[in-house]
Chain A
Amino acid sequence: MRAFEYVRADDIGAAVALVSGDPAAQYLAGGTTQVDLMLKDGILEPERVVDITRLPLRGITADDRTLRVGALTTMEELAADPTVAERLPFARTALLAGASTQLRNMATIGGNLLQRTRCRYFRDPGVPDCNKRTPSSGCAAITGAGARMHAILGAGETCIALHASDLCVPLVALDTVVRVRGTDGERRIPLTEFYLLPGDRPDLETVLRHGDLVTAIEIPLPPAAIRSGYLKVRDRASYEFALVSVAAALTVEDGTITEARLGLGGVGTIPWRARAAEQVLTGAPATVETYRAAAEAELRAPFTVPGTAFKPELARRTIVRALEELGGDRT
C-alpha cells in the first residue's frame, strides 16, 4: 500500500531502460497479480510502476508453423483467435478454464507466464516464514494447514508454492518460446527453461533479469493429425485454480503413440513438462496400461505434505483419464 509513482510507457525501449535502471521499479500490465499483491496484500512495494498496457505488444499472427502472440494480448483475445481454436484447441480449453471472463479480459499472456503463486502464506505479510519472500526464513506452508493448492512436483522443504497457470500447461507441452527484451536487446527463451525450481532460492522464479520485458510468445503449431485435450480437476465447478490439470497431445498411428506431449498443472512449482511420462508414451501402444505407466513414471517421487497427500494419486488418475480420452484404449 506504499505510495508509488505511476508512469505510462509509450515506447518499449524506454520502458525497458527505465525499469532496468531502477531496482524499485516494476512493470504493470493486466494487474490481476500485480495490483493484488501491491495494493491488497502489500507483498510488492515498488516505488515506481511502469504501465506497459499501451505498448504495441498486443496481437496475434500466425504462419504455417508458429503462432506468435504479443505479450499484451489478453487471455480472452487469445481464446477467441481462430488459429487457436483450430490448431491449439487444448490451449483454448485451458484459457477458458482459467479465472473468470472479467479476469481473462484483463490478464495478459505475458502476465500469465509471470503470475505469482497463490500460496496464502506467501501472500500474507503477517506470516514471517516464507522463503519466497524472505530467503532462509522458512516455509510456513509446509507445516501449515490448508496446503491443498500447493505443489508436489519440483517442491521441497524450502517451498511448495504452486505455479497456478492453466495456460502455461499446454504452452510448456508445446515447446513454446518466450521472447524477452532486455537492455542488451532481444532473446528467445524456451518456456521449459524459463522457470527456476525453488531449490535453495525460492525467491528466484525465472531466468529473467530485473527490467527484462516479455514481448511475445511463439507457439510452434503441432501437426494437424495430433489430438489434444486439457482436463482440469478442481473442487468448484468453475472460477478456481486446478488441483490437478493435464494438457496432453497425442498422435496415434496404427495403435502406437508416435508423438506425445504432456504438461501438468496444479502440481508443480513451475508449469510442469512431463518428460518422463512422454518417454514412456512415445512408441508405446495406446493402451490404458501405457497411460498408467506414464503417469507412474512422472509421479515417482512427489513431495507431499498432509494437505497434498491425495494429489499424487489424483494426478495419476487425471493423466490416465486425459490420455484415454485422446488415445483410447487399444488393449
Chain B
Amino acid sequence: MSQDSRNARAAQPAAGDAGTVRVTLTVNGADHELLIDSRVTLLDALRDELALTGTKKGCDQGACGACTVLVDGRRVLSCLTLAAQCDRRQVATIEGLSSDGRLHPLQEAFLRHDGFQCGYCTPGQIMSAVALLHEGRTGSDDEIREFMSGNICRCGAYPNIVAAIREVARQGAR
C-alpha cells in the first residue's frame, strides 16, 4: 500500500459528461459497453440496460439478498453497487449459470428439493449458494443456515434450501 503521492496523477472523471459514466461490464463472460447515468446500480444496469431480469429487486436496500450476483467471483449485493464501480469487473448472474441448456447442480437440487415457491428470491439464493460452496461453508446444516441467512425467502423454503445445498455439497459438485 503505497502512501506515496509525489507522483500523483490527477483523478480522472470516467466520462466527459457530469452525471453519465461509460462502463464496460463483463457479464457472464460477455462485454457490454454502456453509457449510463452515474446513479444506476449494478442491479438496474443488469435489469434495465442488459435485460437480464433474472437478478431480482426485493428491497433495494441491502436487506434481503434477492439481488445477489458474483463480482470477480465473490457474492455481493447488486442493489448497493454502482454499475460504474464494476467497470471491467467480471459479473456472474443466474442467466450464466446453466450451460448448453443444462442446469447447474444447484439449480437441479433446488428443483428436486422444492427449495422455492414463488421463485422470486431463488436466483439470489442460488447465486449465494454457488459462492457458499466455493467458500467452503457447507460443513454442517447450521453452517449452511448461518451463511445463507443473507438471503431472505418469505415463502419460507429454508429447510428445503438447506437440503438442496447439503446435497450438492456432499456430491462435491461445483
Write the residues of chain A forming the contact surface with B, with a CB cutoff of 8 angstroms: 1, 3-18, 28, 31-32, 35-36, 39-40, 49-51, 53, 56-59, 70, 76, 99-103, 105-106, 181, 186, 215-216, 237-239
Interface of A is mostly: mixed
What distance in Å separates the Cβ of A66 from its nearest Cβ neighbour in chain B? 14
Instruction: Tell me the count of chain B residues lying within 8 A, CB to CB, of chain A.
Output: 47
Which secondary structure characterizes the binding site on chain B?
loop
A51 in contact with B9 (CB, 8 Å): no
- The answer to whether B84 touches A6, judged by C-beta atoms less than 8 angstroms apart, is yes
CB pair A106–B77 under 8 Å, yes or no, is: yes
Any chain A CB within 8 A of the CB of B14?
yes
Q: Given A15-B11, A50-B11, check contact A100 B65 (CB 8 Å).
A: yes
> Given A8, A31, A49, A99, which contacts B150 in the complex, CB threshold below 8 Å?
A99
Binding site for A on B (CB under 8 A): 1-3, 5-15, 18-19, 21, 37-39, 41, 60-62, 65, 68, 74-77, 80-82, 84-85, 87, 128, 131-132, 135, 137, 145-147, 149-151
A105–B85 touching, CB < 8 Å = no
Contacts of A51 in B (CB 8 A): 82, 84-85
The answer to whether B62 touches A36, judged by C-beta atoms less than 8 angstroms apart, is yes
A-B contacts, 17 of them at CB < 8 A, read A1-B39, A3-B18, A5-B13, A12-B5, A13-B5, A13-B8, A14-B10, A18-B11, A32-B77, A35-B81, A39-B41, A40-B61, A49-B38, A57-B1, A100-B150, A101-B135, A101-B147
Check B128 against A102 for contact (C-beta < 8 Å): yes
Nearest A residue to B142 via CB reads: A237
Contacts of B37 in A (CB 8 A): 3
Given A5-B38, A6-B21, A11-B11: 19 more A-B contacts, CB < 8 Å: A3-B39, A4-B18, A5-B19, A6-B15, A6-B82, A7-B12, A8-B12, A11-B7, A13-B5, A14-B11, A35-B80, A50-B11, A100-B65, A100-B150, A100-B151, A106-B80, A106-B81, A181-B3, A238-B146
A70 to B3, CA, bound (A): 11
**Residues B5 and A36 in contact, CB atoms below 8 Å apart:** no
Q: Which of A1, A12, A181 has the most chain B CB within a 10 Å cutoff?
A: A12
Cα A16 to Cα B169 in complex, Å, equals 46
A14 and B81 CA atoms in complex are apart in Å by 23
Q: Is the CB of B80 within 8 A of A186?
A: no
**Are B74 and A239 interface neighbours, CB within 8 A?**
no
Minimum CB–CB distance from B167 to chain A (whole Å) comes to 20
